[in-house]
């Protein structure tokens, strides 16, 4: 089952992403993100978080859809994700998780390496591209010429690639910048690691 989560970062403007929100099988708004949905007359299935950024008017309007979780050990995105996991959802599309505060963006992207152990698929989408997380070995769909950036939560992971313009040969990527701005040579590329099951976070830039 697929859940779409809208975090309270930059709201997407691409028609394809707006339509994804409108057509979501199960739509979760993280706290104040519901304000953006309200402007487009999109109804969330639930609103979840510590409720520190939602207006009193919307609290009253959506009182039957609010899941108030007070604990501060996790952010609203994680609260929404694990609530959906408990409901049986295993395929996730996350929007609004980047932009605004940079520390929130970094935190949300890093959480992908935790989420992948609790679901089949999870991606973060924005107007500029998509972050996805995979376990090695993996075969990744792409478009010829598409910019690809590769990040490894474990800095000691040794990666080998096929199908990228700048091949990796048993290469570690301890610095985030080291794996950026690669390029797909065709419709897919592959990544292998010395140890199977290593997490790899990928960024596919949109081709305009």
Give the mean pLDDT of the chain: 96
pLDDT, tens only, 30-43: 999 999 999 999 99
Confidence label for 51 from pLDDT (cuts 50, 70 and 90)? confident
Choose which CATH entry (3.40.50.10240, 3.90.25.10, 3.40.1440.10, 3.40.50.2300) describes domain 2-127: 3.40.50.10240
pTM (two decimals): 0.95
pLDDT exceeds 90 at position 202: yes
Pairing between strand 158-162 and 171-172?
A: antiparallel
pLDDT, tens only, 53-92: 888 999 999 999 999 998 888 999 999 999 999 999 999 9
Give residue 50's pLDDT. 84
d(CA 208, CA 204): 12
Contacts of 39 (CB under 8 A, 6+ apart): none
User: Quick one: 143 exposed, middle or buried, by C-beta within 10 A (0-12, 13-18, 19+)?
Assistant: middle
d(CA 154, CA 170): 14
Contacts of 180 (CB under 8 A, 6+ apart): 149, 150, 203
Give residue 52's pLDDT. 83
DSSP state letters, the chain = -EEEEE-SSSPP--HHHHHHHHT-SSEEEEGGGHHHHHHTTPPPSEEEE--SSS-HHHHHHTGGGEEE----SS-HHHHHHHHHHHHT--EEEEES-SSSSHHHHHHHHHHHHHHGGGSSEEEEE-SSEEEEEEESSEEEE--TT-EEEEE-SSTT-EEEEESBSS--SSEE--SGGGG-SEEB-SSEEEEEESSTT-EEEEEEEPP-
Show me where the domains of the chain are located.
2-127, 133-205
Give residue 13's pLDDT. 97
Q: Which two tokens stand for residue 22?
A: 């409108």
Integer angstrom CA distances of residue 141 from 130, 145, 171, 182: 12, 12, 21, 14
């Amino acid at each position: 089952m697929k859940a779409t989560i809208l975090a309270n970062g930059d709201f997407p403007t691409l028609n394809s992403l707006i339509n994804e929100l409108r057509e979501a099988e199960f739509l979760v708004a993280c706290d104040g993100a519901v304000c953006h949905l309200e402007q487009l007359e999109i109804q969330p299935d639930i609103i979840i978080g510590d409720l520190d950024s939602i207006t009193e008017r919307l609290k009253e309007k959506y009182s039957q859809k609010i899941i108030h979780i007070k604990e501060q050990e996790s952010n609203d995105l994680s609260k929404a994700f694990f609530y959906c996991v408990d409901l049986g959802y295993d395929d996730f599309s996350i929007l609004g998780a980047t932009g605004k505060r940079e520390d929130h963006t970094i935190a949300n992207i890093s959480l992908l390496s935790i989420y992948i152990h609790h679901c089949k698929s999870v991606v973060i989408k924005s107007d500029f591209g998509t972050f996805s997380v995979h376990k090695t070995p993996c075969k990744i769909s792409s478009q010829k010429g598409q910019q690809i950036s590769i990040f490894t939560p474990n800095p000691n992971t040794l990666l080998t690639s096929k199908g990228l313009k700048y091949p990796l040969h048993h290469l570690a990527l301890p610095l985030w910048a080291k794996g950026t701005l690669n390029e797909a040579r065709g419709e897919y590329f592959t990544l292998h690691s010395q140890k199977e099951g290593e997490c790899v976070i990928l960024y596919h830039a949109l081709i305009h």
